Amino acid sequence: MGAADISGNGNDGITHLMKVTSALFYGFASFFITVVNKTVLTSYRFPSFLVLSLGQLAASIVVLFLGKHFNIVKFPDFSRDIPRKIFPLPLIYLGNMMFGLGGTQALSLPMFAALRRFSILMTMILELRILGIRPTTTVQISVYSMVGGALLAASDDLSFNLRGYLFVMITNSLTAANGVYMKKKLDTADMGKYGLMYYNSLFMFLPALIATWLLGDLDKAWQFEGWNDSLFLVQFLLSCVMGFILSYSTILCTQYNSALTTTIVGCLKNISVTYIGMFIGGDYVFSWLNSIGINISVAGSLLYAYVTFRKKAPAAGAGSSSASSDRKSLLPPPGRIDNV
């Protein structure tokens, strides 16, 4: 009896550790790639976010192909039913990447961070409609605080850019769809996280290459004068590799937590991005109302982080299987996730 209890508590501890660790890993990857992308696209004035997204797709394909070849990672070989299994994830994945980079280029990082919080509300709604996950009242209050703060910040954005706002709102919709459908495919597609990453990138590389060529961005990138700058080249390659790492960390966080948790962790890293962004890119215009709105949104993010990641002691008689109602409200029923 005692041994079983110890084992159960150990498993609970490991599970909780994986939840927190995967969230921290995703938060770091999301923070780092945002800063690197902003530096490449704004500080160095690289002319095409589409070409940068192609580099990120190519890096994911090469890394995973070599990993499978050397038996470092495992995922199914290609078959004719794979596109059907993972659709519409490749389209969502590509659109999310491209429009996200476009928004990063067009907006200051503090404003980009604030507007990205709309994806949280969208994710919460999609989780309710598609996965049947109903958040608790505390979670809803934190989400509404984040979105309300973002609205307040946007109301006094002195560097308003319609194109950037449009790109970010499209990205928010795609981020919500990507998180929810990723969770669903991890449960049902029998491909694992590496298979989803590889085939998402593989299927979308050629259409993205053709679209980039038709829009003339390949020629713009070819004529860019910064290719001889070794520091720029290092950051460009870092951005490409970090695209793969971000995809992996996103799937890992979604697997061990929930789509909504993944979305909000991505916004939590904007606490740092918001203030660092005032010095990176040189395109942020300060105002008090904008600053207050951003801080309200950050406070909502911190409230959600506390509710989601606190580890409650097991209730009397509940045993090691007890968990907080806040966490249960965000996690789908057990499925094939454990087998991925």
Q: Which residue has the higher pLDDT, 51 or 116?
A: 51
Q: Which residue has the higher pLDDT, 232 or 263?
A: 232
- pTM for the predicted model, two decimal places: 0.64
Q: Is the pLDDT of residue 322 over 70?
A: no
If you average pLDDT over each of 3-17, 190-204, 218-232, which comes out highest? 218-232
**What is the mean predicted confidence (pLDDT) over 1-8?**
44
pLDDT of residue 340: 25
- % of the chain residues with pLDDT over 70: 75
Residue at 340 is within a domain: no
Domain range for residue 98? 16-311
Residue at 318 is within a domain: no
CB 198 within 8 A of CB 62: no
Residue at 181 is within a domain: yes
Residue at 211 is within a domain: yes
Closest CA to 57 of 208, 224, 253: 208
Q: Is the pLDDT of residue 311 over 70?
A: no
**What is the mean predicted confidence (pLDDT) over 267-271?**
65
State how many domains the chain has. 1
**What is the mean predicted confidence (pLDDT) over 62-81?**
88
Closest CA to 24 of 309, 294, 319: 309
Q: At a CB cut-off of 8 Å and minimum separation 6, what does 338 contact? A: none
**What is the mean predicted confidence (pLDDT) over 30-36?**
83
Q: Is the pLDDT of residue 334 over 90?
A: no
Q: Is the pLDDT of residue 103 over 50?
A: yes
Residue at 284 is within a domain: yes
Tokens of 274: 């918001």
Residue at 321 is within a domain: no
Residue at 327 is within a domain: no
pLDDT of residue 333: 33
Q: Is the pLDDT of residue 94 over 70?
A: yes
pLDDT of residue 274: 64
Q: Is the pLDDT of residue 187 over 70?
A: no
Q: At a CB cut-off of 8 Å and minimum separation 6, what does 107 contact? A: 115, 159, 161, 164, 165, 168, 283
Tokens of 133: 């996950």
Half-sphere CA count of 99, side-chain side, radius 13 A = 19
Average pLDDT, the chain: 76
Residue at 320 is within a domain: no
Q: At a CB cut-off of 8 Å and minimum separation 6, what does 249 contact? A: 22, 25, 26, 28, 29, 30
pLDDT of residue 278: 60
